[in-house]
Amino acid sequence: MSNKNTPDLIETLSQSVNPVAPLGRRGLWLWVGLSLLAGTAFVLTTYGARPEMRLLFSEGRVADNLSAYAKTAFFISLAALAVWQVQATARPEGALSRVQTGLLGLAVIALTTLTGVDIALSGLPAAMTGLSDGAGMCFLTILIGGMTGLGVGWALWLRHTAPGNPSLFGALSAFAASALMTVAYTLHCDHDAPAYLLLIYLAPNLVAALIGSVAGRWLFRW
């Protein structure tokens, strides 16, 4: 049985609806650009650039130690993948694809495998060289810088999203922010051992993701 007031109710509700613009990407790329720029400026002014990067920036020449550039390239790829995942899950209908999940898993497995091979070939003491040489400061710089970047992302773009899974989206956003800070930090740090990259570079990204997962439950609730 229909209610005579139903048409009036529908009309009232339709008049109170305000159109919302589609979620654009400009804020996302602004967040990425500012995070990289601010992170790089902080790292280079506070700690300085490693010799290979000074040679590349000042003279345009590539140093013989290619591991310096390989490390930076690896974390640039990881950060790009993380940002791609954030973009893919920013809306209610969004979801991670098998390709995205597989690539992230492959990156973690590859670094873990390299660490295992290095330990097997060089021995545990040699593989862990450098973990006591300012490693704690490296870890905290990446983690704190990443969480700061998450706050910047929230102000610029993340608060406009409506993810279907706020906890997952929070984890991915924090991981992406931390990965961007990691890219900046590679321009300074000269420790290239796989174990160092796993425990001091990648680990703070995972810790940030854990924090972001918890925070995402209320940051991205809608």
Helix H, strand E, coil C: the string for 90-155 is: CCCCCCCCHHHHHHHHHHHHHHHHHHHHHHHHHCHHHHCCCCCCCHHHHHHHHHHHHHHHHHHHHH
Token pair, residue 39, equals: 């992170």
Mean pLDDT of 177-182: 98
Residue 46 has pLDDT above 70, yes or no: yes
Average pLDDT estimate for 159-188:
96
Confidence band of 1 (pLDDT split at 50, 70, 90): very low
Could you give the CA distance from residue 166 to residue 92 in angstroms, rounded to a whole number? 10
Phi, psi dihedrals of residue 94, rounded to the nearest 5°:
-70, 155
Does 17 have pLDDT greater than 70? Answer: no
Indicate the average pLDDT of the chain: 89
Rounded CA-CA distance 32/83 in Å is: 8
Q: What is the mean pLDDT of residues 76-85?
A: 96
Q: 126 to each of 53, 131, 194, how far by Cα in Å?
A: 25, 10, 11
Confidence of residue 122 (pLDDT cuts 50, 70, 90): confident
Largest CA distance in the chain: 83
**% the chain with pLDDT above 90:** 69
Give pLDDT, residue 11. 65
Give residue 2's pLDDT.
Answer: 52
Contact 197, 111 (CB under 8 A): yes
Q: Where are the domains of the chain?
A: 33-219
